[in-house]
C-alpha cells in the first residue's frame, strides 16, 4: 500500500477568501467522492500531508460555505514545477497528525532556552503554535527573523497574539 492513502487529479483554480478584503489563493478543490471516510465531523479543517505535482506539502482541507473543500497550492509548488492556475496536477495525501507544528529551529531554540516561555508554549493549542511558527518562518532575512522571534516570545509570555501585543 502507498504511503499516501488518497490521490486525484484536478485543475488549479483561483479562490477568493474574505468578506471585506478578498484575498485570492491558488487552490485545489477536493473531489466530492474523496470526502467519504475522512474525519471532517471531528476535524472540520482536516490537516493532511502529501504531494502536489511531486512537491511535498502540508496543510489543511478548508471548508467553503457551499460544501466544497480546498487546499492552498503554495508558491513553492508553482515555483518548483512551473504549474499555475488552469493546469491539471496530481495531489496525493494522507491524514496528518492534527497537532503537528513545524517550528523553525531559531524559534525552538528561543523557547527551549527559557523555562517560563517553554511552559507557556506547552499550554498553547496547536493552531496558536502554528500561528507563531508561520510568523517566524515567513521572515526573509535573519534580521527580520530575530525581530519576529522577539515579537512571538513576548506575545507568548503575555498570553496574546502578536497583533494584540502590537495594539498595546
What CATH number corresponds to the domain at position 59? 2.40.30.100
Q: Which residue has the cell 517566524?
A: 136
Number of domains comprising the chain: 2
Does 80 lie in the same domain as 20? yes
User: CA 97, CA 156: separation in Å to the nearest integer?
Assistant: 23
Does 90 lie in the same domain as 26? yes
pLDDT value at residue 2? 77
Written as nine digits, the cell of 128 is 496558536
The answer to whether residue 122 sits within a structural domain is: yes
78: which residues sit within 8 A by CB, 6+ positions away? 26, 84
pLDDT value at residue 85? 96
Written as nine digits, the cell of 19 is 468578506
* 8-state DSSP, 33: G
Written as nine digits, the cell of 26 is 491558488
Does 91 lie in the same domain as 11? yes
pLDDT value at residue 164? 78
The answer to whether residue 1 sits within a structural domain is: no
Does 149 lie in the same domain as 78? no
User: CA 156, CA 166: separation in Å to the nearest integer?
Assistant: 13
Does 85 lie in the same domain as 125? no
Does 45 lie in the same domain as 115? no
Does 117 lie in the same domain as 49? no
Does 76 lie in the same domain as 109? no
pLDDT value at residue 52? 96
φ, ψ of residue 10 to 5 degrees: the values are -155, 165
Written as nine digits, the cell of 53 is 505535482
Q: What is the pLDDT along the chain (168 residues), one digit of tens a residue?
A: 479 999 999 999 999 988 888 889 999 999 999 988 899 989 999 999 999 999 999 999 999 988 899 999 999 899 999 999 999 999 999 999 998 888 999 999 999 999 999 999 999 998 899 999 999 988 899 999 999 999 999 999 998 888 877 776
DSSP per-residue letters across 139-158: -SSHHHHHHHHHHHHHHHHH
- Full domain range(s) for residue 137: 105-167
The answer to whether residue 75 sits within a structural domain is: yes
User: CA 2, CA 94: separation in Å to the nearest integer?
Assistant: 10
Does 76 lie in the same domain as 23? yes
Amino acid at each position: 500500500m502507498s504511503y499516501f492513502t488518497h490521490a486525484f487529479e484536478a485543475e488549479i483554480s483561483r479562490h477568493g477568501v474574505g468578506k471585506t478584503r478578498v484575498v485570492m489563493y491558488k487552490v485545489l478543490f477536493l473531489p466530492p467522492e474523496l470526502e467519504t471516510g475522512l474525519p471532517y465531523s471531528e476535524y472540520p479543517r482536516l490537516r493532511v500531508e502529501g504531494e502536489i505535482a511531486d512537491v511535498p506539502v502540508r496543510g489543511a482541507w478548508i471548508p467553503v460555505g457551499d460544501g466544497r473543500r480546498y487546499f492552498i497550492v503554495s508558491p513553492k509548488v508553482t515555483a518548483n514545477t512551473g504549474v499555475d492556475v488552469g493546469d491539471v496536477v496530481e495531489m496525493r495525501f494522507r491524514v496528518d497528525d492534527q497537532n503537528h507544528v513545524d517550528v523553525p529551529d531559531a524559534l525552538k531554540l528561543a523557547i527551549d532556552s527559557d523555562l517560563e516561555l517553554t511552559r507557556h508554549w506547552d499550554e498553547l493549542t496547536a493552531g496558536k503554535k502554528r500561528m507563531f511558527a508561520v510568523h517566524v518562518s515567513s521572515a526573509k532575512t535573519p534580521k527580520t527573523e530575530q525581530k519576529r522571534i522577539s515579537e512571538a516570545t513576548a506575545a507568548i509570555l503575555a498570553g496574546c497574539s502578536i497583533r494584540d501585543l502590537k495594539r498595546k
